[in-house]
Structure 1
C-alpha cells in the first residue's frame, strides 16, 4: 500500500518539486498551498491539490479533514521576509513566525494522533542553512528557522517511542522565487534607511548566490532518501554551499565566522 504524503508550500520551489517527485515514485501525494491556481499543474503528475493557509486555523483543520490518513508530513510552506530588526514592523515579524513556525507546529499537532495510533509516521521539517547561520537583515527569518530546529530536536525525542521519525532538511542555495521576493522585500523595508548600504550589499550577494543555486528537485531527492531510510538521519544537508557553510560555522569561533561572512558582503 502506497504511503500518503501531505506536502505544504506545494505551489512553488522545494514544495512543488517534492510533491511531483514523490508522486512520480509511487506515493499518494496531496499538495497544499494558498494559491490554488498555482497548484493545478500538479494534477498531471497525480498530485491532489488542497487549499491551505497555515496562518488560519480553519484552513488547517479543513486541509487535514480532506486528506484523512497521513503517513508523511512535509512542512515546506515558508516565508523569507527580510529587513533590519530596527525597520521591520512587528506585524510582519509575527506573520513570518506564524508561517515558518506556528503553522508547522499546528499541522504536526493534528497529524500526530493518527501517526501514534499506527505507530508509524515521518515528519519532515524544511529548515535551512539559515537555521544554523544568521545573516544580517534576516533576523526574523533566521529566528523562525533556528526555532524550527529546536522544535524538531525536542519533538524527535518525544515521539520516537511511537515509531515516528522527525527529519530536518537544511537546504543551501536552491532555485526559488523566495530569494528574489526576499531581496525585494529587504529593499522595501530597509533600502532607504540607515541600513541601506548593507541592504544593497546583501541584494548583490543574493543575486550572486542565485547563480549557483541548485534545482529544487535536488532537495526533493534528499527528502525521499530521508523518509525511505530505515533509520533516517536527524538532518539532511543539500544545495549550493550548504555543507561548507555549516562546516565553517562549526569550526570557527563566532567572531571569526562573522568576519568571514561579512567579507563576502562588500
Structure 2
C-alpha cells in the first residue's frame, strides 16, 4: 500500500507542477484521505450526499493516472486536473452585450473553505475575520453606491433557515424584494433579489445562499447600482461561476 500511495502521489504532484504549492498539498492530502483510509470510514463517508468538486475529481483521476499515464485517457485526466487548478486562466464573459476575454486569478477563501477566480485587473479580495469581500481595486467616487461582493459562511445555519432570515432582512432594507428562487447558475442554491428605486444610482442586491455541504450555508451578497447591472453585476456573475466549495 505504501508503494501504491507513493506512486499516485508522485503522478499528481508531477502533473500539477503549475499549481500553487499550497493547493498541491491540499489536493494530495484530500486524495490520501479519500483513497487510503479504512473501509469503515469510507463507507460512512459514502452515505453523505455531497457535490463533486475538483479535489474529489482529482482523487478519482489519480487511480486512472496510476494505470494509464501514457494513454490518451490518462493524458486527458491530467489535463483536466491542471486546468482546474491553474493559478491564472482566461474566461469569456458577456459585458453590456459584448463577449469579453478576461484573465482571472485563483484565490483561496477564508479558512481555505472555498476557491474563486477573480478579475484582479478590476477587483481585489479583502479577507476579514468573519467574511471575505471582493470590491473594486480602485475606490469609487462618493456619488456611486457601494459595489462589493461579500462571501460569508454560517457553519450552523442550514440554507432554508438562512433564506427565511434573509427575506426578512431584505424586506426592511429594500423597497422591492422579488420572490426567492432556486437557481443552478451562476451556482446552485437560492437567490434573493432586492432593489430600491428606478434611478441610475438605485441600490441593487443579489443574495445567494449555498449549502456548505456540512450542515451550514455560504451567503454571498452582491451590492451594486442599477446602471452597473450589465457591468459590475455581470462581472460578479462570471466570478461566481468559478466559485467552488472545498469540502
The answer, yes or no, to whether TM exceeds 0.5 is: no
Tell me the TM-score normalized by structure 2.
0.27
Q: Determine which structure has the larger strand proportion and give its number.
A: 2
Tell me the TM-score normalized by structure 1.
0.25
